[in-house]
Amino acid sequence: MSVLFAFLHALALLLAVVTLAAFLTWVERRVLGFWQDRLGPNRVGWQGILQVAADMIKIFFKQDWIPGFADKPTFIAAPIIVLASVLLAFAVIPFGNGVDIVGALNVGLLFFLGMTSLSVYGVVLAGWSSRSKFSLLGGMRAAAQMISYEVFMGIAVIGVVMQAGSFNLEKIVAAQTHIWFIVPQFFGFLAFFIAGIAEAHRLPFDLPEGENELGAGFHTEYSSMKFGMFFVGEYAGIVLLSALSVALYFGGGHGPIFPPIIWFALKSSFFVIFLILLRAALPRPRYDQLMSYGWKLMFPLAIGNLAVTGGVMIALGQ
């Protein structure tokens, strides 16, 4: 019975996340529209809210084409890896109110880092198995960008782990009852958030896709629902990044009056909107700029943050 319940619980969360991600595609276009003095999609349903359904119908009925020159098994596996790794990472997010699946997993944060590393494989394999130049270039960029940004993402969150004394995300949230980690770990948050954007290959760090130079980058050859999986994976990645930023640095579900899940959702949506705002506001850096930001600016920043955190903790005798 409890097995069945756990299964249904997981299924419900998965469905919720996928629906949310699909819904975000409409939110993004609408909000981007307003920020560019346009209206965005507002025709299907009230204020265009059913645009998602229309897009779904369209994308399901598109021809699902695999190029003859592609490496078929890998080509099919790549989008599955991307979507699955992002969705699996949601298992450890501590939403509170019993919504989360294993928020108290003792290696929760490591599990998240592992899953984001896995999603790199999806992107790289997609680029490689397409056997087209644009896709391969996109895949190579993804590999270099995501692996180098992952390095200091890991280092940046270590500061939080040191202060909370655990990899358990629920304990990390519980450790922020008095003060959110954004205050002592500000630079850590900066490094984490920027690395997170690069991990989710969102604008301004969408070099693996780079529409105006690489066609569509690593998913140039993908069509129909296989493309849809990348798409949903990207938006689920945004939600994941926002949720994790909230859990690690903004006190998770802590807040007055409302139950934790409401606070968690509110804070997460703030970050989702902020990520969309970044897309509207910032240009894409050149590839060498991206690499040098990563290694020469963010990496030392994360290391420095780690050293200072350690020093202060020793000085305070914790």
Partner 1 sequence: MYVLTSLRSAWLTFKHLFHRTETVQYPEQMPYLAPRTRGRIVLTRDPDGHERCVSCYLCSAVCPCDCISLQRTSAPNQWQPEFFRINFSRCIFCGLCEEACPTSAIQLIPDFEMSEYNRQNLVYEKENLLIAGTGKVPEYNYYRVAGIDAFGKHKGEGPAERPPVDPRGLMP
Neighbouring CB atoms inside 10 A of 79's CB total: 24
The least CB distance from residue 269 to partner 1, in Å, is 15
Q: Contact letters (x/-) for partner 1, 229-258, by CB under 8 A?
A: ------------------------------
| C-alpha R_g of the chain | 20
Number of residues that bind partner 1 (CB under 8 A): 17
Which residues within the stretch 170-209 sit at the binding site for partner 1 (CB under 8 A)? 190
Q: Beta-carbon neighbour count of residue 120 at 10 Å? A: 22
Quickly count helices (H) and strands (E) in the chain: 12, 0
* Shortest separation between residue 34's beta carbon and partner 1, angstroms: 5
- CA distances (Å), origin 182, targets 130, 185, 186, 248: 42, 5, 5, 8
CB of 39 to partner 1, least distance (A): 4
Residue among 116, 279, 292 nearest 192 (CA): 116
37 forms part of the interface with partner 1 (CB under 8 A):
yes
By C-beta, is 23 or 293 nearer to partner 1? 293
Q: What is the largest CA-CA distance in the chain?
A: 64
Chosen residue from 23, 35, 270, 295 binding partner 1 by CB under 8 A? 35
| C-alpha 153 chain-centroid distance | 12
**Which member of 12, 39, 183, 266 binds partner 1 (CB under 8 A)?**
39
x/- map, 281-300, partner 1, by CB under 8 A: xx----------x---x---
Which one of residues 7, 34, 65, 258 is an interface residue with partner 1 (CB under 8 A)?
A: 34
Q: Which is nearer to partner 1, 6 or 297 (CB)?
A: 297
Residue 15 is a binding residue for partner 1 (CB under 8 A): no
Of 266, 277, 307, 312, which lies in the binding site for partner 1, with binding defined by CB under 8 A?
277
Closest to 207 (Cα-Cα) out of 152, 149, 138, 278 = 138
- Kindly list the distances between the CA atom of residue 127 and the CA atoms of 143, 167, 213, 258, 282, in Å, as whole numbers in the listed order: 10, 33, 15, 45, 25
Query: Contact positions toward partner 1, by CB under 8 A?
Result: 31, 33-39, 190, 274, 277-278, 280-282, 293, 297
